[in-house]
């Protein structure tokens, strides 16, 4: 009995069925609709801003493009973004040389195309075990994620006005959407209730201040000591007096650096729990930060384990979805081609409309249309694939929100001994219903 009880306890602690349940939560239509709406609004905003300005300089000469290596990733200097990632000090010369030689590109379009390319390359390399080991492929994935982060730094550094407006708008939209999705996930996981679209929006609206302040307060706490260190560095530029100040204040500067790093690590580790804390407890942003940091500090290994397992499940389900989409499109393309062949039509017409599916690249570039009707048909096919990509992006958002909500409930149970079924309800006297399935 003791052995069986111990095995049962270990299985319950691992919580594998609960973490796998995140996929079922993530594909809920209401949650996908909320996330898809957020992605659509962000993309429309970026598109409209790109229509107003195309400030990103491109290299029109293929032979002159710089080729560089960042870790195990090869980059080609198509735009100033790639040049910055290869060698930041060459960006100024690149812009001065090629500015005005080509129409240019918008910042949002540049970030979208670069991030999509890195994501597709990382996905392909992760499962390419024939030429490299799993760990080298995993390193390739992390390098691509690091490059996407540096791309944001490039945008802020070289296009500050555009980036400040667009990133602020994106941050606000994602806070609202993630709060609504996490609330839906919390109610469905805890009570098997599926709130409606407007009910989720109403909760996010009522707790919007908390959803904004939860990620903003840690950022402010990191920026304050960082700004003080920068101020000391500026004073250090003063002749004679500067070096004295740096020497005298060096110990204080190191303590400020320690505080900044500590807050950054805490905010990064507990960042996934901020929105679930607001969704589960309907609390303030400050209390959500306290809960997230407390749970991470009390159960760091379990937190890392849950995140790792949820990441594995998420990767598996995402690849499964891509494979299913690829098979469906492959069948559709084959049947369309077969039908045109049986009717004595030209198969090249189909290729001009759609060149066929690829496993890790949904957006294919068709050949030039022969007549106006082919242009219209290709346009509608392009719109369909934009819709499909938006749904995939929405799924990624909903899965992250749902998985983090389940992780929050599991870690809260370990630290506070509170069952996952306990969730905030507007009516205080209403008791939570017991779950009948994980």
pTM for this prediction: 0.86
Would you say residue 430 has pLDDT above 50?
Answer: no
- Given a contact cutoff of 8 angstroms between Cβ atoms, the answer to whether 353 and 378 are in contact is yes
Question: pLDDT-derived band of residue 429, with 50, 70 and 90 as boundaries?
Answer: very low
Q: How far is CA 323 from CA 138, 269, 358, 364, 394, in A?
A: 20, 32, 10, 16, 17
- Tallying the residues shown for the chain, one arrives at 438
- Given a contact cutoff of 8 angstroms between Cβ atoms, the answer to whether 85 and 143 are in contact is no
- Given a contact cutoff of 8 angstroms between Cβ atoms, the answer to whether 255 and 195 are in contact is no
Highest mean pLDDT among 74-78, 283-287, 341-345: 283-287
Mean pLDDT of 291-298: 86
**Which H/E stretch holds residue 16?**
helix 16-26
Q: Which residue has the higher pLDDT, 435 or 349?
A: 349
Question: pLDDT-derived band of residue 133, with 50, 70 and 90 as boundaries?
Answer: low
Helix intervals (H) in 102-133: 107-126
**Which H/E stretch holds residue 69?**
strand 67-70
pLDDT (tens digit per residue) in 217-260: 888 888 888 888 888 888 888 887 888 888 888 888 889 888 88
- Given a contact cutoff of 8 angstroms between Cβ atoms, the answer to whether 180 and 38 are in contact is no
Burial of 96 per CB tally in 10 Å (0-12, 13-18, 19+): exposed
The torsion angles phi and psi of 74, rounded to 5 degrees, stand at -95, 130
Closest CA to 265 of 283, 292, 286: 292
**Which bin fits 356, alpha (ψ -120 to 50), beta or left (φ > 0)?**
left
Angstrom distance (rounded) from CA 221 to CA 262: 10
Among the residue ranges 67-71, 141-145, 164-168, the one predicted with the least confidence is: 67-71
Question: pLDDT-derived band of residue 126, with 50, 70 and 90 as boundaries?
Answer: low
- Given a contact cutoff of 8 angstroms between Cβ atoms, the answer to whether 298 and 415 are in contact is yes
Would you say residue 310 has pLDDT above 70?
Answer: yes
Tokens 């110990």, residue located: 251
Q: Residue 132 has what pLDDT?
A: 59
Average pLDDT, rounded, for the chain: 85
Q: Residue 72 has what pLDDT?
A: 76
Q: How far is CA 96 from CA 64, 90, 105, 343, 420, in A?
A: 14, 10, 16, 56, 58
Question: pLDDT-derived band of residue 190, with 50, 70 and 90 as boundaries?
Answer: very high
Domain regions of the chain by residue span: 215-298, 302-416
Would you say residue 4 has pLDDT above 90?
Answer: no
Q: Which residue has the higher pLDDT, 63 or 168?
A: 168
- Given a contact cutoff of 8 angstroms between Cβ atoms, the answer to whether 225 and 259 are in contact is yes
- Given a contact cutoff of 8 angstroms between Cβ atoms, the answer to whether 77 and 154 are in contact is no
Would you say residue 278 has pLDDT above 70?
Answer: yes
Question: pLDDT-derived band of residue 156, with 50, 70 and 90 as boundaries?
Answer: very high
For residue 184, what are the contacts with CB-CB under 8 A and spacing of at least 6?
A: 25, 28, 30, 31, 34, 194, 195, 200
Mean pLDDT of 51-61: 87
Question: pLDDT-derived band of residue 294, with 50, 70 and 90 as boundaries?
Answer: confident
Angstrom distance (rounded) from CA 97 to CA 57: 10
User: What tokens appear for 44 in the block?
Assistant: 């429309």
Q: Residue 59 has what pLDDT?
A: 84
- Given a contact cutoff of 8 angstroms between Cβ atoms, the answer to whether 232 and 253 are in contact is yes
**Which H/E stretch holds residue 76?**
strand 73-76
Say whether 282 sits in a helix, a strand or coil. Answer: coil
Say whether 383 sits in a helix, a strand or coil. Answer: helix
Q: Residue 24 has what pLDDT?
A: 93
Q: Residue 300 has what pLDDT?
A: 86
Q: Residue 7 has what pLDDT?
A: 72
Percent of the chain clearing pLDDT 90 (strictly above): 34
pLDDT (tens digit per residue) in 330-389: 999 889 988 988 887 778 888 888 887 877 777 666 567 778 888 888 888 888 988 999
Checking 200-209 for CB contacts under 8 A at 24+ apart, the result is 200/30, 200/34, 201/34, 203/179, 203/279, 203/282, 204/176, 204/177, 204/179, 204/180, 205/176, 207/179, 207/278, 207/282, 208/175, 208/176, 208/179, 209/285
């Amino acid at each position: 009995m003791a052995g069986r009880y111990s095995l049962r306890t270990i299985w319950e602690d691992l919580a594998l069925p609960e973490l796998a349940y995140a996929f079922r939560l993530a594909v809920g239509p209401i949650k996908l609709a909320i996330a898809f709406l957020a992605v659509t609004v962000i993309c429309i905003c970026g598109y409209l801003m790109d229509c107003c300005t195309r400030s990103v300089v491109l290299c029109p000469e293929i032979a002159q493009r710089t080729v560089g290596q960042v870790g195990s990733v090869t980059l080609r200097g198509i735009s100033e973004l790639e040049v910055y990632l290869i060698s930041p000090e060459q960006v100024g010369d690149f812009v001065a040389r090629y500015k005005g030689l080509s129409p240019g590109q918008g910042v949002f379009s540049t970030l979208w195309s670069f991030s999509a390319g890195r994501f597709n390359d990382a996905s392909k390399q992760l499962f390419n075990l024939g030429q490299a080991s799993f760990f080298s492929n995993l390193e390739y994935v992390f390098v691509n994620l690091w490059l996407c982060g540096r791309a944001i730094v490039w945008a802020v550094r070289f296009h500050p006005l555009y980036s400040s407006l667009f990133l602020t708008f994106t941050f606000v939209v994602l806070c609202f959407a993630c709060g609504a999705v996490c609330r839906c996930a919390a109610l469905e996981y805890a009570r098997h209730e599926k709130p409606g679209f407007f009910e989720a929006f109403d909760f996010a609206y009522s707790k919007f201040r908390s959803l904004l302040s939860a990620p903003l307060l840690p950022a402010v706490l990191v920026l304050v000591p960082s700004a003080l260190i920068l101020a000391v560095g500026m004073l250090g530029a003063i002749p004679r007096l500067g070096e004295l100040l740096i020497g005298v204040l060096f110990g204080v500067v190191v303590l400020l650096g320690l505080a900044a790093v500590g807050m950054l690590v805490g905010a990064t580790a507990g960042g996934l729990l901020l929105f679930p804390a607001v969704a589960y407890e309907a609390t303030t942003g400050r209390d959500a930060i306290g809960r997230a940091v407390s749970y991470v500090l009390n159960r760091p290994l379990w937190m890392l384990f849950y995140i790792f397992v949820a990441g594995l499940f998420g990767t598996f389900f995402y690849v499964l979805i891509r494979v299913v989409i690829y098979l469906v499109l492959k069948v559709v393309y084959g049947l369309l081609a077969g039908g045109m062949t049986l009717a004595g039509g030209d198969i090249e017409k189909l290729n001009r409309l759609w060149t066929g599916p690829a496993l890790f690249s949904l957006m294919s570039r068709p050949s030039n249309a022969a007549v106006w009707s082919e242009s219209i048909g290709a346009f509608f096919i392009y719109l369909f694939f934009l819709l499909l990509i938006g749904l995939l992006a929405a799924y990624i958002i909903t899965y992250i929100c749902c998985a983090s909500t389940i992780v929050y409930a599991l870690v809260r149970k370990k630290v506070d001994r509170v069952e996952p079924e306990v969730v905030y309800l507007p009516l205080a006297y209403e008791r939570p219903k017991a779950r009948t399935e994980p």
